[in-house]
């Protein structure tokens, strides 16, 4: 079996890459270990807590005991299904801030500044404003990826944006437009009441072409001969075989599995590979390093009125929601319930937002466990640019073993300071007059937790991953020893091999990572095809008084 271009991973970036290469007439084969995304657990937006906790759809990865979180081991869901993590995520669509990408370019990722990537965000989108305003000149309207806004009918959802305004922050009509900073409506990859994953947006249309194929198999390693990637060794139906690549192999297997595959193939920190008996093809010390994520806390408040989603949080309620969705693709089942957003700066002197809010009109955990207090609401809040860095390393030379994942969360004193700020700013927003008719007692951290020590104890026990791992095959200049790929996404030191997924991010972007991951696949296709979209001249909004004012 062979193809001109062999892509490992049918996830957010891999599906977009396959679509664009196939559209250009290239012979493409996609390797995906996971299976079908059929069924309501994935396709119904409100069921999002289910697939990320199901081994059928999730790789089941976990961190090593995190030393600064009291040895806690955290789950790291990654999609093992067509569409990858876009089939199990929360469906929130955030491009990232313009300054994020300008920082990439400044770090050696030439051609990846905001002016370079904005045309790709526009190309991929089919944006539906849903009557909530927006910034049409900044958005795309004929791409494969449908992006929409929820109905925002819950009074708590609307109150959150008003509370932000009452606290002195801006309202933004479109945080994916010129002005990210402020409070407003969330965009989501939902279309006609269904999750619009990259399997639906890109892979299914690509597979209708005769020049695009999908093979279900586990990639074991990249086959490299005389310094060139020539294929992929896979485990398929119980047998090991090699799928040959006439032109290139492209790794799009996630920021956790892409570095693992590089190392299994002899590309990575030389001493680490030798420790596992792997012959060194290219000594690249940056492979698996620079691991980053967003952490968040759930600040929960009891509600004095029965306006939250709690009244539906029982077997009958869920059955009714599911039945309505199955027959009409409407109702509460058609939304991820994350319908109000906030992006703010933690203090004066920070040029662009470094705190993100996800508001939810129920007090619930990501695994679906509801708060004992009943009716309530919560904000997920966390800093966007932690300086802590971790790593992905090999557990063994056996491709069936999971990698060792250590984020090294909260390893810098600034992380604790940032999270205390997040808690206090969230409390201030929940204290605004618009919440007066609804506000009960604070569920967590709880009103008694006020001192730095109290808050630190709460953070240590309750902080959770937002599931945004990235950075482990960092893009940079050819002569940067810590870079893994160059700005064309070519693996430095090996021919015929690229990486195209969130592992190439030099630094994590603002907000949820699905949109920039898809953009990476879109832009990677043009790098392979030897073309580029013309840079944009659009200028992002920056708070005029950012040096002296926090809001």
Could you read off the pLDDT of 51-70 as tens digits, one per residue? 988 889 999 999 999 999 99
- Please check whether residues 263 and 348 belong to one and the same domain: no
Secondary structure of residue 390 in the 3-state scheme: strand
- Please check whether residues 302 and 195 belong to one and the same domain: no
pLDDT for residue 134: 79
- Please check whether residues 431 and 363 belong to one and the same domain: yes
Report the alpha-carbon distance of residue 26 to residue 315 in Å, rounded. 49
- DSSP code of 292? B
Half-sphere exposure of 191 (CA within 13 A, CB side): 15
- Please check whether residues 234 and 363 belong to one and the same domain: no
- Please check whether residues 232 and 198 belong to one and the same domain: yes
Domain with 215 in it? 1-60+76-146+188-289+469-529
Report the alpha-carbon distance of residue 363 to residue 443 in Å, rounded. 9
Helix (H) or strand (E) holding 3: strand 2-8
181 lies in some domain? yes
- Please check whether residues 279 and 362 belong to one and the same domain: no
Query: 397-404: long-range contacts at Cβ-Cβ below 8 A with a sequence spacing of 24 or more?
Result: 397/264, 397/276, 397/277, 397/278, 399/218, 399/219, 399/220, 399/221, 399/235, 399/264, 400/218, 402/59, 402/60, 402/61, 402/62, 403/61, 403/256, 403/257, 403/259, 403/260, 403/288, 404/64
- Please check whether residues 331 and 351 belong to one and the same domain: yes
pLDDT for residue 364: 80
- DSSP code of 43? H
Question: Tokens for 90?
Answer: 């929360």
Give the residue carrying structure tokens 């929130």.
Answer: 92
- Please check whether residues 40 and 124 belong to one and the same domain: yes
Binding-site annotation: residue ranges: 81
Q: What CATH number is associated with residue 229?
A: 3.50.50.60
199 lies in some domain? yes
Q: Shortest CA distance to 292 belongs to which of 379, 357, 354, 384?
A: 384
Average pLDDT over all residues of the chain = 96
Question: Tokens for 326?
Answer: 């199955």
* Number of folded domains that form the chain: 2
- Please check whether residues 341 and 373 belong to one and the same domain: yes
117 lies in some domain? yes
Residues of the chain with pLDDT under 70: 130-132, 366-368, 370-372
pLDDT for residue 136: 87
- Please check whether residues 518 and 421 belong to one and the same domain: no
Total residues belonging to the chain: 551
Q: What CATH number is associated with residue 416?
A: 3.30.410.40
Q: Could you read off the pLDDT of 474-484 as tens digits, one per residue?
A: 999 999 999 99
User: Helix, strand, coil proportions of the chain in percent (round to 5)?
Assistant: 30, 25, 45
User: b/e for 283-292, b at 16 or more Cβ within 10 A?
Assistant: bbebbbbbbb
120 lies in some domain? yes
pLDDT for residue 130: 67
Q: Shortest CA distance to 290 belongs to which of 511, 108, 86, 541?
A: 108
pLDDT for residue 132: 66
- Please check whether residues 56 and 193 belong to one and the same domain: yes
pLDDT for residue 315: 87
Q: Which of 33, 128, 132, 468 is catalytic?
A: 468
- Please check whether residues 320 and 426 belong to one and the same domain: yes
Binding-site annotation: residue ranges for FAD: 81
534 lies in some domain? no
The CA distances from residue 30 to 232, 239, 243, 523, in Å, are 11, 18, 10, 18
Helix (H) or strand (E) holding 328: helix 315-328
65 lies in some domain? no
Secondary structure of residue 426 in the 3-state scheme: helix
CB 431 within 8 A of CB 261: no
Q: Measure the N-to-C terminal CA separation of the chain; round to a whole number of Å.
A: 58
Active site (annotated) includes residue 468: yes
pLDDT for residue 372: 66
pTM assigned to the model = 0.98
Query: 305-309: long-range contacts at Cβ-Cβ below 8 A with a sequence spacing of 24 or more?
Result: 305/375, 305/437, 305/438, 306/375, 307/154, 307/155, 307/156, 307/361, 307/375, 307/438, 308/154, 308/156, 308/361, 308/362, 308/363, 308/375, 308/376, 308/377, 309/154, 309/337, 309/361, 309/362
């Amino acid at each position: 079996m062979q193809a001109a271009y062999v892509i490992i991973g049918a996830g957010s970036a891999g599906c977009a890459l396959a679509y664009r290469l196939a559209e250009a007439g290239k012979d493409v084969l996609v390797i995906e270990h996971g299976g079908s995304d059929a069924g309501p657990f994935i396709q119904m937006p409100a069921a999002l807590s289910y697939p990320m906790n199901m081994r059928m759809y999730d790789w089941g990865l976990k961190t090593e005991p995190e030393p600064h979180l009291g040895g806690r081991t955290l789950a790291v869901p990654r999609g093992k299904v067509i569409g990858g993590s876009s089939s199990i995520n929360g469906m929130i669509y955030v491009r990232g801030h313009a300054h994020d990408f300008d920082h990439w370019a400044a770090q050696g990722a030439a051609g990846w500044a905001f002016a370079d990537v904005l045309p790709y965000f526009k190309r991929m989108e089919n944006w539906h404003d849903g009557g909530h305003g927006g910034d049409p000149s900044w958005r795309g309207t004929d791409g494969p990826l449908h992006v929409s806004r929820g109905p925002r009918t819950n009074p708590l959802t609307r109150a959150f944006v008003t509370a932000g305004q009452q606290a002195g922050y801006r309202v933004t009509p479109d945080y994916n437009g010129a002005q990210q900073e402020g409070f407003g409506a969330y965009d989501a990859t939902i279309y006609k009441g269904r999750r619009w994953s990259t399997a639906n947006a890109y892979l299914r249309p690509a597979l209708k072409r005769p020049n695009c194929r999908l093979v279900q198999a586990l990639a074991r390693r990249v086959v490299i001969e005389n310094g060139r990637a020539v294929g992929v060794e896979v485990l398929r139906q119980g047998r090991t075989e090699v799928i040959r690549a006439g032109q290139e192999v492209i790794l799009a297997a996630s920021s956790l599995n892409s570095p693992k595959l590089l190392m299994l193939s002899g590309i990575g920190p030389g001493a680490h590979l030798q420790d596992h008996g792997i012959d060194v093809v290219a000594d690249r010390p940056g492979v698996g390093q620079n691991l980053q994520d967003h952490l968040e806390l759930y600040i929960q408040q009891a509600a004095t009125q029965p306006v939250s989603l709690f009244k539906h949080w029982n077997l009958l309620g869920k059955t009714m929601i599911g039945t309505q969705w199955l027959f009409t693709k409407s109702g509460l089942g058609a939304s991820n319930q994350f319908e109000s957003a906030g992006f703010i700066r933690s203090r004066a002197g920070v040029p662009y937002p470094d705190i993100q809010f996800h508001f939810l009109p129920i007090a619930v955990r990501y695994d679906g466990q509801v708060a004992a207090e009943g009716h309530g609401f919560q904000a997920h809040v966390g800093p966007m640019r932690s300086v802590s860095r971790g790593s992905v390393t090999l557990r063994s030379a056996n491709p069936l073993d999971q990698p060792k994942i250590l984020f090294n969360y909260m390893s810098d004193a600034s992380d604790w300071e940032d999270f205390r700020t997040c808690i206090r700013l969230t409390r201030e927003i929940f204290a605004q007059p618009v919440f007066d008719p609804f506000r009960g007692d604070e569920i967590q951290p709880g009103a008694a937790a006020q001192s730095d020590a109290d808050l630190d104890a709460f953070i240590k026990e309750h902080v959770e991953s937002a599931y945004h791992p990235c950075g482990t095959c960092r893009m940079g200049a050819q002569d940067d020893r810590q870079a893994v790929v160059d700005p064309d996404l070519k693996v430095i030191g090996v021919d015929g091999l690229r990486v195209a997924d969130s592992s190439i991010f030099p630094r994590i972007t603002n907000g949820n990572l699905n949109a920039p991951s898809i953009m990476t696949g879109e832009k990677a296709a043009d790098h392979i095809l030897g073309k580029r979209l013309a840079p944009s001249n659009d200028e992002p909004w920056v708070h005029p008084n950012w040096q002296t004012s926090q809001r």
